[in-house]
Amino acid sequence: MPTIDLETASLRDLNQALHSLGRDEGGELWEILNPRGSHAVAVGVDAPLEISVHGSVGYYCGGMNQQASITVHGSAGPGVAENMMSGSVVIKGNASQYAGATSRGGLLVIEGNASSRCGISMKGADIVVKGDIGHMSAFMAQSGNLVVLGDAGDALGDSLYEARLFVRGSVKSLGADCIEKEMRPEHIELLGNLLSKAGVTDVKPEEFTRYGSARKLYNFDVDNADAY
């Protein structure tokens, strides 16, 4: 089990060691100690590794992740799992703004709260937040699923495309072109699977409200000008 202590090793050495692994290598657990809020921890990993980070991290932890399962035993700064392609990132604490921004695949789980712009411009990933999310979350989200067990701030889903939003708590306000939608059986099944993947066993999918695009802003229409 490789162990890298960032109190004595450099961040460059850590990421270089992770990047040196081939796409088919891995299957082992890497322990990262004393991150002390370091930025860009375990970015660009492209190997089937288990990476356990013991402490809080700065911005862009797990960015561009492919294949790896990354767990942060602490909180994360801005842009955690930004542009993630596959694999998973689990934050045991809170996450700062734009968590999972532009993420194209994989699973991001935030066990605490997420700040503003969570899931901004997401393009296919699944994001599960066990606490609350801040304002402008899922702004211009194109596809994928954002699941929130707590409350959502202002302007949820502003300028949304085809991403699906599930919120168990209250929503302070909806953004432009975002509306409440019916929870059909296929959404119940989808949400149940997402909750199971995120390790949530004490919450039922039926407790959530689904939000999505009203599809009025796909093409400019002067009759919808007030919605922009």
Contacts of 99 (CB under 8 A, 6+ apart): 76, 78, 79, 80, 81, 91, 108, 110, 114, 115, 118, 119, 127, 129
Q: What does the pLDDT read at residue 102?
A: 98
Q: What does the pLDDT read at residue 220?
A: 58
Name the residue with higher pLDDT: 216 or 142.
Answer: 142
State the pLDDT confidence band at 225, using cuts at 50, 70 and 90: low
Q: What does the pLDDT read at residue 21?
A: 83
pTM: 0.94
- The single residue listed with the structure tokens 């409350």 is 151
What is the domain partition of the chain in residue ranges? 1-84, 113-228
Examine the pLDDT at 23 and tell me if it is beyond 90: no
